[in-house]
A and B are shown apart, each in its own frame.
Chain A
Amino acid sequence: KAGVTQTPRYLIKTRGQQVTLSCSPISGHRSVSWYQQTPGQGLQFLFEYFSETQRNKGNFPGRFSGRQFSNSRSEMNVSTLELGDSALYLCASRSDRGQFDTEAFFGQGTRLTVV
């Protein structure tokens, strides 16, 4: 079974631009979550999608948005980029049971640098 795939792996953008990151979950997984990792802050939850619906949301500004397609692939968009948005963005998928007691499998992440 293929793992979670995130594209691109690396990205450099300028302040004020917008960016779209992509995530393909493990086949059969319907839950996709996004996290931001910055030094000293651990993994901060952005949002979770399940069957094309956002069912959990973290405390990030509205500049951060996402969506999920019918094939469970997900995209995350950040508009009006700020220097502080520079981070590793991680996508994780969970099984199609969608229950609380299942582990999440992570992709390798997209390293976003805003200059």
Chain B
Amino acid sequence: DQQVKQNSPSLSVQEGRISILNCDYTNSMFDYFLWYKKYPAEGPTFLISISSIKDKNEDGRFTVFLNKSAKHLSLHIVPSQPGDSAVYFCAASGQRANSKLTFGKGITLSVRP
């Protein structure tokens, strides 16, 4: 049962354009959402997060949008750079103090120079 879904396995965009990575979830108990970036042979690194009390969080070139009614979130990268080419994972956790992080399968982003 995939509670966090990243339905598009890959995305290719031109350098300088916007990258939009989508994520859907099914568990209405999820209250905190995160995006991680992963390069080959390295562990995932935290990018940005958003709490369910917000609908938008911005950090430099990265913005995460949350639509709770649709159980959907997206990560926008503007402008995209070749160094952004990596696998991006969406993750979610619930409100219980001991809640684990549930990850999607990831999206491979390729930014073309």
- Decide whether A and B assemble into one complex: yes
On A, residues with C-beta under 8 Å from B are 4, 6, 33, 35, 40-45, 48, 50, 55-56, 58, 90, 92, 98-101, 103-109, 111
Name the residue on A nearest B87 (C-beta): A42
A100 touches B105 (CB 8 A): no
- B46's partner among A50, A100, A101, A103 (CB-CB below 8 A) is A103
> Using Cβ atoms and an 8 Å threshold, which residues of chain A touch B100?
33, 45, 48, 56, 58
Name the residue on B nearest A97 (C-beta): B97
- Stretch from B14-22, B59-67, B74-82, B88-96 forming part of the interface with A: B88-96
A100 touches B99 (CB 8 A): yes
Name the residue on A nearest B90 (C-beta): A42
B44 touches A100 (CB 8 A): no
Question: Can you list, as one digit per residue, whether each of B35-50 has a CB less than 8 Å from chain A (1) or not (0)?
Answer: 0100001111110010
Question: Can you list, as one digit per residue, whether each of B97-110 has a CB less than 8 Å from chain A (1) or not (0)?
Answer: 11111111110000
Name the residue on B nearest A43 (C-beta): B103
A-B contact pairs, 23 of them (CB 8 A): A33-B100, A35-B103, A40-B105, A43-B103, A45-B100, A48-B98, A48-B100, A56-B99, A56-B100, A90-B44, A92-B43, A100-B94, A100-B95, A100-B96, A100-B99, A101-B31, A101-B32, A101-B49, A103-B34, A105-B46, A106-B36, A106-B44, A111-B41
